[in-house]
Structure 1
Amino acid sequence: MTYQVTVIGGGPSGLMAAIAAAEQGVDTLLIDKGKKLGTKLAISGGGRCNVTNRLPEDEVIKHIPGNGKFLYSPFSVFNNYDIIDFFEGLGVGLKEEDHGRMFPVSNKAKDVVQALLNRMEELNIEVRKETPVEAIHYGDNEHQVILKSKEKILTRSLILAVGGKAVPHTGSTGDGYAWAKKAGHTITQLFPTEVPLLSKDSFIKNKTLQGLSLRDVDVSVLNEKGRKIVTHRMDMLFTHFGLSGPAILRCSQYVVKEFMKGHRPVTIEIDALPDEKENVLLDKLQKMMEEHSKKTFRNVIKGMVPERLLDFVLEKSEISPDEKSANISNEKLRNFTQLLKKFHVHVHDSQPIEKAFVTGGGVSIKEIIPNTMQSKLMERLYFCGEILDIHGYTGGYNITSAMVTGRVAGMHAAWEAMA
């Protein structure tokens, strides 16, 4: 039997692609090597599944710094608002949280996955789980998928939705890159994004600040000349190995890109009081010290930043905890202020791509037709999801990209199979 559309990969983009193809009325097969479909969906958003983001289209694309502009075309066919309508149509109520993130009302990722599986069953999509693919042979009118079991599957259109290399326990182990190369595609350099960062700074090694989280701070990545490449204002966390938390994850790809240029270590600058200008803060502290000259400096400024950070910065500025305000030199106060505004951490590496949330790099988008997701180099071959060189920040942006490209790939693969 020859299938009209075969999808390899049962993640967010593969499930969307299979449903979109079958909705056009074609025989559709979905192959996945795992025991369960939608594993990545099931763990996304801390197990609650951040389905998409309801910010305006331009904002969503801005949050996909890795080739997000490519998505303007697929978005004209199916966009983030269509994703919301699609799930609500399947009976999954959604609610909006901070920064436009959309979650199921039930807070259960498995409801999202189940709705997709139910829809696939309604559409009679054939699903083969625990079915690893060994090779793909491309042909003019049809392609041949060879399974590890040596069974051969013929298909008129083929969609590769196998993911990248991040979060490998969900099945994304980079299998698809070789298949894409065999079709003549370029794979751009792969690198981890949305990944915790490692530092050898003594205070990290001594675990002085381990477990301390800072809320709403400005985290910047500095280039070799000390200029800011990017700044994100969010929460962050000091860990036993370095830095993590939302602001760090957002900055991480810029750090990794500096490494790729041969720059190491890269400096991360933390501004613990981003709403205060440094000179204004200095004046404010001087006034407070004059008013409370007999009190210890530590007590005068207590509560301005978390206590552990305060004690660390006091120590670095050589101000002892029981030193009276009146006795502190201007130079020490200046150092103290500067450390609150420009706290530097030297990052020598990131965690590996397997520990990253998202893969940077992949199948070059220059070789993909944006409004159909078809390969420019091979007839009847389509790509969607994280195998592509597209990556966004966490917050529903990568899943949006996966679902949109999956939907568009599925529709067009079906139309071509029927032609």
Structure 2
Amino acid sequence: MIKHYDLVVVGAGAAGMVAAIRAARNNKSVLLLEKLPKVGAKLKATGGGRCNLTNTLESQEFMSKFGRDGRFMQDALKEFDYKKLMMFFKSIGVETHAPDGFRVFPTSHNSSTIISSLKEEMLRLGVEILCSQKVTKLQSYDGHICQVQTSSHSFKTSNVILATGGLGYPMLGANGDGYALASELGHTSTALYPAMMPLHTKEGWVKNCRADTIAKAELRVDMKKYKKLKAKGDLIFTNRGIRGPVVLDFAREITPLIDKYKEVKILVNLTKGMNEDDILKHIRDEANKNPNSSMLNIVKTLLPDTLSSEICLLASIKEDAKLKDISGKQKNKLIQTLASTPLTIVGHDGFERAMITRGGVSLKEINPKNMQSRLICGLYFCGEIMNLDGPCGGYNLQWSFASGYLAGSLS
């Protein structure tokens, strides 16, 4: 005899576990299916293992960080904003705090604290957890969910929550099976791109600056149709290109362009937002303070040593030259390079290194008031499987928790 559940949750990540808890607290019989041997695999890696759960932005500003589709989150955040999330975790024994006033972490700064507490709460509520169970088919009858099949079992249910995540970090279980399950029931997905990841540059000089971190760098796309795309934050040079918080945020805009154009030209302000006039004044002031100072030493007052050498090289200036020794053309080139260093993005490591997926199940096919499918009754979505992604800083995890909590209400 096939066992019947009020709800089957597919995927035991952040969204899926919170959805299961919400439903179980409402006295629903809940089965949680996870294809990996343990729950919370990707959650364990979040924030370098420190687990940046959310941030302290109010909902309106929070939604704006997701772009034009951010309003889709309104009902979920009304139900479960960052304050309610912190209260939720306190209710299951996890204290949280925001040491920098913005990013919220468990006070343990350990993702294992979050995972173990969520699992304990599920078990306390009687949620049945089956791991190493890959869902192969969702069955519907007359427009209603009726059964879930795995490679070895079948389960009857009138409600399914798809919380399978995206394509990022396949070693943590992501392979896009949720998109396939949704597609079989008539749902469509947008194009899928890796996001929140390092980027590769055509320019090889970056490898000489691997020890350098540039604070408050400003990146902008230098292509006619996309000049409005920009980001600001800390930048780190790598052996093959660039990474750091600003790059992780900017990658979600860049990867679709690489797919379309193969190369994406960007400009980087390395001087904390100083414009060309500011930089010229700074250079003159430094030269006036010490007329014998070399151009390399003057540039070093703005940038780390190795990067200063590369900038001088890009501007065709000898490192030991004095300001009075260089031509006006060289000076202008140096100032322009400092304010707008050109780089060409030519690639990335694909979904292997992507923390999130840009794209997913079309939001037009999902009711934002309860996360239920507009096509199939009893089918719900939450988390990364949907076409909604945000920047670094707890945005995506908050969205996973909030959408999971709303979906779990089965309203």
Tell me whether the two structures share a fold, i.e. TM-score over 0.5: yes
Paired with 1:290 and 1:33, the residues of 2 have a C-alpha distance of 67
* Corresponding residue for residue 147 of structure 2: 144
* Corresponding residue for residue 234 of structure 1: 233
Paired with 2:358 and 2:273, the residues of 1 have a C-alpha distance of 32
Q: What's the offset of the Cα at 1:79?
A: 1.9
* Corresponding residue for residue 212 of structure 1: 212
SS in structure 2 at match of 1:98: coil
Paired with 2:130 and 2:192, the residues of 1 have a C-alpha distance of 29
Paired with 1:394 and 1:288, the residues of 2 have a C-alpha distance of 37
SS in structure 2 at match of 1:237: strand
- Deviation sequence 1:2-22 (CA, Å, 0-9, x none): 111110100000001100111
Q: What's the offset of the Cα at 1:56?
A: 1.0
Alignment of 1:268-287 (within 5 A): 268-287=266-285
Quick one: structure 1 residues 49 and 173, their matched pair in 2 at CA, closer, same or farther if it must change by over 3 Å?
A: same
- Deviation sequence 1:270-311 (CA, Å, 0-9, x none): 111134221232133234324533332333443321111111
Paired with 2:107 and 2:220, the residues of 1 have a C-alpha distance of 35
- Deviation sequence 1:223-251 (CA, Å, 0-9, x none): 236x6322222111111121111111111
Paired with 1:94 and 1:80, the residues of 2 have a C-alpha distance of 11
User: Relative to structure 2, which stretch is displaced further, 216-225 or 391-400?
Assistant: 216-225
Tell me, yes or no, if the aligned pair for 2:5 and 2:30 is still in contact at 8 Å.
yes
Tell me, yes or no, if the aligned pair for 1:166 and 1:354 is still in contact at 8 Å.
yes
Q: TM-score, normalised by structure 2?
A: 0.95
Choose the corresponding residue for 1:369, options 354, 358, 367. Answer: 367
Q: What's the offset of the Cα at 1:170?
A: 1.7
Report percent identity of matched pairs: 31
- Deviation sequence 1:286-337 (CA, Å, 0-9, x none): 3432453333233344332111111111122222222233312222111111
Tell me, yes or no, if the aligned pair for 1:229 and 1:254 is still in contact at 8 Å.
no
Q: What's the offset of the Cα at 1:66?
A: 7.2
Tell me, yes or no, if the aligned pair for 2:7 and 2:29 is still in contact at 8 Å.
yes
- Deviation sequence 1:44-84 (CA, Å, 0-9, x none): 11101111112111221122237322101222222222111
Paired with 1:327 and 1:25, the residues of 2 have a C-alpha distance of 80
Choose the corresponding residue for 1:192, options 181, 191, 194. Answer: 194
Paired with 2:298 and 2:386, the residues of 1 have a C-alpha distance of 54
Q: What's the offset of the Cα at 1:362?
A: 0.8
Choose the corresponding residue for 2:59, options 50, 57, 68. Answer: 57
User: Relative to structure 2, which stretch is displaced further, 78-87 or 271-280?
Assistant: 271-280
Identify unmatched segments of 5+ residues in structure 2: none
* Corresponding residue for residue 184 of structure 2: 182
Choose the corresponding residue for 1:39, options 30, 38, 41. Answer: 41
Tell me, yes or no, if the aligned pair for 2:202 and 2:343 is still in contact at 8 Å.
no
Q: What's the offset of the Cα at 1:86?
A: 0.3
Q: Which amino acid aligns with 2:87?
A: D
Q: What's the offset of the Cα at 1:143?
A: 1.7
SS in structure 2 at match of 1:208: helix
Tell me, yes or no, if the aligned pair for 1:290 and 1:325 is still in contact at 8 Å.
no
- Deviation sequence 1:16-42 (CA, Å, 0-9, x none): 110011111011100101111111111
Q: Which amino acid aligns with 1:247?
A: V
Q: Does 1:250 align with 2:249?
A: yes
Choose the corresponding residue for 2:155, options 153, 167, 171. Answer: 153
Tell me, yes or no, if the aligned pair for 1:265 and 1:347 is still in contact at 8 Å.
yes
Q: What's the offset of the Cα at 1:173?
A: 1.2
Alignment of 1:200-349 (within 5 A): 200-204=202-206, 207-224=207-224, 228-260=227-259, 262-349=260-347
Q: Which amino acid aligns with 1:146?
A: Q
User: Relative to structure 2, which stretch is displaced further, 285-294 or 46-55?
Assistant: 285-294
Paired with 2:101 and 2:264, the residues of 1 have a C-alpha distance of 29
Tell me, yes or no, if the aligned pair for 1:222 and 1:229 is still in contact at 8 Å.
no
Quick one: structure 1 residues 60 and 99, their matched pair in 2 at CA, closer, same or farther if it must change by over 3 Å?
A: farther
Quick one: structure 1 residues 138 and 334, their matched pair in 2 at CA, closer, same or farther if it must change by over 3 Å?
A: same
User: Relative to structure 2, which stretch is displaced further, 228-237 or 335-344?
Assistant: 228-237
Task: Give aligned pairs, total.
Answer: 408
SS in structure 2 at match of 1:215: strand
Paired with 1:259 and 1:107, the residues of 2 have a C-alpha distance of 36
Q: Does 1:120 align with 2:126?
A: no
Tell me, yes or no, if the aligned pair for 2:138 and 2:145 is still in contact at 8 Å.
no
Identify unmatched segments of 5+ residues in structure 1: none
Q: What's the offset of the Cα at 1:254?
A: 1.4
Tell me, yes or no, if the aligned pair for 1:52 and 1:80 is still in contact at 8 Å.
yes
Q: Which amino acid aligns with 1:251?
A: F
Q: Which amino acid aligns with 2:338?
A: L
